[in-house]
Amino acid sequence: MASPAHVLIIEGRRKSHSFSPELRDKGFQITVAHTGRRAETILGSEQPDVVVMDATFYRSSGVRICTMVRTITPGIPLIYINAAGKSLPAAIRTDASLTHPFTIRKLINRLNRLLASRDGPTYRAGPLTLYLEKRAVLINRRERRLTPKQTQLLAVLMQRPGEVISRRELIRTVWDTEFMGDTRTLDVHIRWVREAVEDNPSKPRYITTVRGKGYRFSIPGS
């Protein structure tokens, strides 16, 4: 089952009202950053589904912060919230914008609209995010495109972390065949997936071989 949508909210410390408690109550996974530097640190290790930049109580317009977000995570939607009477700065490229006052429902509607177009079902495990319809994997700020078979193979492994999945089962599930006469196709696809997700594919950390049994997906340290 897909995990809750992860939203990074960037808001000033002086903000009198935060949307984060209400969004958590609605089932969103929320991370809050009070400074651009903190947001940059978070984006370096986590991959939220949406970033909300609430510039209401910032002394500046937040152009620098939004530019940083776009540079580090260009594929993640950005919602910009502005104070009443202020216009959206021309230098900020957003996927949606809101101006105070507005209800939490309006923000949720914007979030759901962006999440609905985030390339369909998504699997997450540790630093990896797999987009099934987009056929891409995001890890450590790098997005790598995958073929349909590579996507399906990684999806099967990620859905069963820590479990050894036999070569026969992987071939049957991904290639829809019971034929085991030549398993080199599986080995080649495993190598390609490792090249997409591993820092050192020759010494894999996420997708390991269990000799004589199959392959196992795991997150180091978990």
Chain centroid to Cα 97, Å, comes to: 21
Burial of 88 (0-12, 13-18, 19+ CB in 10 A): middle
Q: How confident is the model at residue 1 (pLDDT cuts 50, 70, 90)?
A: very low
**What are residue 51's DSSP bridge partners?**
8, 78
Average pLDDT estimate for 94-123: 82
Flag whether pLDDT at 118 surpasses 60. Answer: no
Q: How confident is the model at residue 155 (pLDDT cuts 50, 70, 90)?
A: very high
Q: How confident is the model at residue 16 (pLDDT cuts 50, 70, 90)?
A: low
> pTM for the full model?
0.54
pLDDT digits (tens, 9 = 90+) for 168-186: 999 999 998 887 666 789 9
Residue with the bigger pLDDT between 52 and 12: it is 52
The reported pLDDT for the residue numbered 165 is 96
Flag whether pLDDT at 203 surpasses 80. Answer: yes
Whole-number Å distance between alpha carbons of 179 and 60? 63
Contacts 24+ apart (CB under 8 A), 98-103: 100/56
